[in-house]
């Protein structure tokens, strides 16, 4: 029984992280109307930026390294848009997606070039978890859940309480109409990249704290983020949150039944299942 | 001389692989980002059967059927969707198939791979030496080229192009877009399977590491560099890129360099895709009768 509770806890933990990925992915989808295949690489680079700043020659402690790592991730996100996606705004969809896939591959191998393909960690000792009601939870894990909640609340306030957030929602709803109303769409698009990059960076760092870093981590998490997005309804930020938690739970409960080697395949399975059962619901909010 | 023959065999296998993707991406406008899956499925099927002494003719047929079958199964849930979704489903599928090769150790020997895949014997003729194998692949490549040419010049091929240009218009003309797309995808998967089978029997050793995203990127790059939607584009693209890739292997660079060279080469592939898409999306050869502003 304890085992089951433990899996649920781990599932929620992973789910919070996936939710951060999915919220960023769906935000860009909402504003620019395409799936950013390089979103996984923002996640991966976010985690590696922190690794870079904590290692030699800097050796910053985690709290100090965090801010510059996120700034670098934002820079990468903005750079992606400026140099790859902006020149292709009016290109046809196939051209855009092939470029996004190329970008993803470029960034993944860039990380492999710099840090090699092996698994890395931030080098914290594994501490004994606190035991509450038979469930073990480490301080890291508490921090992960708290950070995710802070991010989610932050996104909520941003979207519903600020002018900038509202203009982003307007652009994502209807670009033409937003322009007519005098909303600066370029500004809103740029800001969407900032938010998506921060969410990806924070998520990547949390994931790396909980597990490890590897250049291939981007692709598989892109699939998970997309599965979560599909579950929650494309373009819907709160759906993405819910979808992320469902995927996290399904993965951690699923490995009780099937081989752990297939843990990363569960999100894909859910995605295909969703496409089979409710293809119409997924197309709900397009064009 | 052997090096030259080896290069030719590799180029021809990739020409087949790229022609199959060109049917989907170039002519039908399907965003298939997991083409390596079908290459891998056939390579494994044919290798496993051949290692059980099944004759090559039969194992080739079963391997092609498996690739086609999986193409069909994957297309049912995913081909109704718009391009982005299809792209990500195929991308995921490519990763999952590799995971299966890796995890089903009882069947595929997992990361150990399958060594000793026999050279093919077709109608009691054994294609063992390099030049014999070159002849075999050349024959299959010519066959693929002709079959695809017949398909694409038929009314069926025109419908595929119509779907690519304007899905709604094709639908309005009474064409069932979904079925045409499935057919295109299954045919593409079959020929990817042919390339995979030929490759497996050529290298005689396959392992899950041979079927990564790199293969998908490489074949996609061949298609878009050569010119998607053209008959000779994949041929040209394969010559340029496979020559580049394989010749790097034979430069005899110090071993410690490969740690950096492999990712660097892959970065070049990724970067080349971006640069091509921004500055010359139509590739080296341009499709005839297609305006520069054609698209969705």
Whether A88 contacts chain B with CB within 8 A: yes
Cross-strand pairs, B206: B114
B77/A91 touch (CB, cutoff 8 Å), yes or no: no
Whether the pLDDT of residue B257 is over 60: the answer is: yes
The C-alpha of A17 sits at a distance from chain B's nearest C-alpha, in angstroms, of 19
Do the strands B121-122 and B125-126 form a parallel or antiparallel pair, or are they unpaired?
antiparallel
Q: How many other CB atoms are there within 10 angstroms of residue A53's CB atom? A: 19
For B18, the domain range is: 2-212
List chain B residues with CB under 8 Å of A102. Answer: 217, 221, 269-274, 277
Whether the pLDDT of residue A167 is over 50: the answer is: yes
Nearest CA in chain A to B164: A94
C-alpha distances in Å from residue A274, one per residue of A45, A247, A285, B179: 30, 12, 16, 21
B260/A113 touch (CB, cutoff 8 Å), yes or no: yes
- For the segment A32-56, what is each residue's pLDDT rounded down to a tens digit? 888 899 999 999 999 999 999 998 7
pLDDT band (50, 70, 90) for residue A165: confident
Predicted confidence at residue B97, as pLDDT, reads 92
Nearest CA in chain A to B275: A99
Residue B242 covered by a domain? no
A101/B33 touch (CB, cutoff 8 Å), yes or no: yes
Question: Are B211 and B45 contacting, i.e. CB atoms less than 8 angstroms apart?
Answer: no
Nearest residue to A159 via CA among A80, A241, A230, A89: A241
* Full-model pTM: 0.89
Phi, psi at B121, each rounded to 5°: -115, 115
- For the segment B29-53, what is each residue's pLDDT rounded down to a tens digit? 888 999 999 999 999 999 999 999 8
- For the segment A84-137, what is each residue's pLDDT rounded down to a tens digit? 999 998 888 889 999 999 999 999 999 999 998 888 888 777 666 777 777 778
Whether A91 contacts chain B with CB within 8 A: yes
Whether the pLDDT of residue B175 is over 90: the answer is: no
Which residues have C-beta within 8 Å of that of residue B246, sequence separation ≥ 6?
B6, B7, B10
Predicted confidence at residue B249, as pLDDT, reads 74
Q: What is the mean pLDDT of chain A?
A: 86
A271/B277 touch (CB, cutoff 8 Å), yes or no: no
Predicted confidence at residue A194, as pLDDT, reads 94
CA dihedral B222, B206, B203, B66 (to 10 degrees): -70
Nearest CA in chain A to B267: A106
Report helix, strand or coil for A76.
helix
Nearest CA in chain B to A282: B81
Predicted confidence at residue A280, as pLDDT, reads 56
Residue B256 covered by a domain? no
Residue B99 covered by a domain? yes
Whether A118 contacts chain B with CB within 8 A: no
Report helix, strand or coil for B120.
coil
pLDDT band (50, 70, 90) for residue B4: confident
Highest-confidence segment of A28-32, A201-205, B24-28, B128-132: A201-205
Predicted confidence at residue A275, as pLDDT, reads 78
Residue B257 covered by a domain? no
Mean predicted confidence (pLDDT) in B228-256: 84
Question: Are B85 and B74 contacting, i.e. CB atoms less than 8 angstroms apart?
Answer: no
For residue B87, the Cα-to-chain-centroid distance in whole angstroms is 15
The CA angle A116-A118-A123, to the nearest 5 degrees, is: 105
Domain count, chain B: 1
Q: Answer with the residue of higher pLDDT: B144 or B169.
A: B144
Phi, psi at A137, each rounded to 5°: -140, 130
Whether the pLDDT of residue B295 is over 70: the answer is: no
ipTM, 2 dp: 0.88
CB nearest to B31's CB, from A97, A109, A116: A97
Which residues have C-beta within 8 Å of that of residue B201, sequence separation ≥ 6?
B46, B47, B50, B56, B117, B118, B119, B120
Residue B45 covered by a domain? yes
Q: Answer with the residue of higher pLDDT: B70 or A274.
A: B70
C-alpha distances in Å from residue B106, one per residue of A101, B63, B103, B109, B110: 34, 19, 9, 6, 8
Mean predicted confidence (pLDDT) in B168-172: 84
Which residues have C-beta within 8 Å of that of residue A45, sequence separation ≥ 6?
A72, A73, A76, A107, A111, A201, A204
pLDDT band (50, 70, 90) for residue A281: low
Nearest residue to A169 via CA among A158, A201, A283: A158
CB nearest to A286's CB, from B82, B93, B278: B82
Question: Are B32 and B79 contacting, i.e. CB atoms less than 8 angstroms apart?
Answer: no
Cross-strand pairs, B114: B206
Mean predicted confidence (pLDDT) in A196-222: 92
Burial of A4 (C-beta count, 10 Å sphere; 0-12/13-18/19+): exposed
Whether the pLDDT of residue B64 is over 90: the answer is: yes
Residue B95 covered by a domain? yes
- Rg for chain A, CA atoms, rounded: 19
Question: Are B237 and B284 contacting, i.e. CB atoms less than 8 angstroms apart?
Answer: yes
Predicted confidence at residue A200, as pLDDT, reads 95
B92/A94 touch (CB, cutoff 8 Å), yes or no: no
CB nearest to A261's CB, from B99, B267, B274: B99
Interface test with B, best of A84, A89, A275 (most B CBs within 10 A): A275
Residue B275 covered by a domain? no
Residue B261 covered by a domain? no
E-only strand ranges, A110-210: 130-132, 135-137
Q: Percent of chain A having pLDDT more than 70?
A: 94
Interface test with A, best of B33, B85, B259 (most A CBs within 10 A): B85
Q: Which two tokens stand for residue A50?
A: 């922190």
Q: Let me know how long chain A is.
A: 287
Q: Which domains does chain A have, with CATH numbers?
A: 2-283 (1.10.3470)
B82/A226 touch (CB, cutoff 8 Å), yes or no: no
Whether the pLDDT of residue B160 is over 70: the answer is: yes
Distance CA A238, CA A178 (A): 22
Predicted confidence at residue B149, as pLDDT, reads 93
Predicted confidence at residue B290, as pLDDT, reads 62
Predicted confidence at residue A72, as pLDDT, reads 96
List chain A residues with CB under 8 Å of B33. Answer: 37, 97, 101
Predicted confidence at residue A276, as pLDDT, reads 77
Which residues have C-beta within 8 Å of that of residue B6, sequence separation ≥ 6?
B130, B246
């Amino acid at each position: 029984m304890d085992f089951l509770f433990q899996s649920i806890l781990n599932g929620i933990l992973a789910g919070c992280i996936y939710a951060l990925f999915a919220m960023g992915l769906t935000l860009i989808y909402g504003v620019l109307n395409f799936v950013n295949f390089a979103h996984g690489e923002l996640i991966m680079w976010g985690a590696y930026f922190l690794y870079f700043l904590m290692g030699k020659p800097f050796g910053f402690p985690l709290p100090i390294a965090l801010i510059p790592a996120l700034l670098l991730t934002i820079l990468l996100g903005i750079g992606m848009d400026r140099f790859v996606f902006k020149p292709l705004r009016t290109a046809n969809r196939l051209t855009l997606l092939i470029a996004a896939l190329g970008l993803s591959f470029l960034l993944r191998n860039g990380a492999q070039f710099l840090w090699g393909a092996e698994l890395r960690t931030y080098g914290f000792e594994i501490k004994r978890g606190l035991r509450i009601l038979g469930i073990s939870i480490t301080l890291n894990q508490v921090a992960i859940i708290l950070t995710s909640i802070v991010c989610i609340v932050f996104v909520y306030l941003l979207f519903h309480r600020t002018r900038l957030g509202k203009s982003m929602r307007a652009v994502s709803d209807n670009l033409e109409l937003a322009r007519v109303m005098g909303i600066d769409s370029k500004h809103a698009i740029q800001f969407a990249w900032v938010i998506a990059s921060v969410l990806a960076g924070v998520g990547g760092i949390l994931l790396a704290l909980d597990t490890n870093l590897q250049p291939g981590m981007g692709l598989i998490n892109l699939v998970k983020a997309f599965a979560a997005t599909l579950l929650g309804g494309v373009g819907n930020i709160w759906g993405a949150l819910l979808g992320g938690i469902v995927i996290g739970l399904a993965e951690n409960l699923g490995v009780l039944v099937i081989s752990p080697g297939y843990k990363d395949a569960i999100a894909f399975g859910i995605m295909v299942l969703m496409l089979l059962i409710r293809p119409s619901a997924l197309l709900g909010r397009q064009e | 001389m052997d090096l030259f023959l080896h290069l030719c065999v590799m180029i021809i296998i990739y020409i087949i692989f790229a022609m199959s993707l060109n049917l989907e991406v170039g002519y039908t406008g399907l965003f298939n980002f997991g083409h390596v899956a079908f290459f891998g499925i056939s390579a494994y099927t044919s290798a496993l059967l051949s290692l059980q002494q099944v004759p090559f003719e039969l194992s080739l047929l079963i391997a092609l059927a498996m690739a086609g079958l999986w193409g069909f199964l994957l297309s049912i849930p995913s081909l109704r969707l718009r391009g982005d979704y299809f792209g990500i489903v195929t991308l995921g599928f490519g990763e999952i198939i590799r995971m299966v090769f890796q995890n089903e150790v009882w069947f595929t020997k997992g990361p150990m791979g399958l060594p000793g895949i026999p050279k093919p014997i077709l109608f009691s003729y054994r294609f063992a030496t390099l030049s014999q194998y070159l002849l075999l692949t050349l024959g299959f490549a010519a066959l693929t080229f002709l079959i695809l040419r017949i398909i694409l010049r038929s009314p069926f091929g025109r419908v595929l192009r119509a779907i690519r240009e304007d899905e709604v218009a094709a639908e309005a003309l009474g064409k069932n877009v979904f079925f045409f797309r499935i057919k295109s995808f299954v045919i593409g998967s079959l020929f990817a399977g042919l390339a995979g089978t030929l490759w497996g029997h050529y290298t005689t050793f396959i392992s899950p590491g041979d079927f990564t995203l790199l293969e998908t990127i490489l074949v996609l790059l061949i298609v878009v560099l050569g010119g998607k939607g053209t008959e000779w584009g994949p041929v040209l693209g394969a010559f340029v890129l496979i020559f580049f890739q394989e010749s790097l292997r034979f430069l005899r660079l110090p071993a410690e360099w490969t740690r950096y060279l492999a990712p660097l080469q892959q970065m070049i592939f990724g970067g080349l895709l971006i640069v091509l898409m921004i500055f010359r999306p139509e590739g080296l050869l341009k499709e005839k009768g297609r305006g520069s502003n054609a698209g969705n």
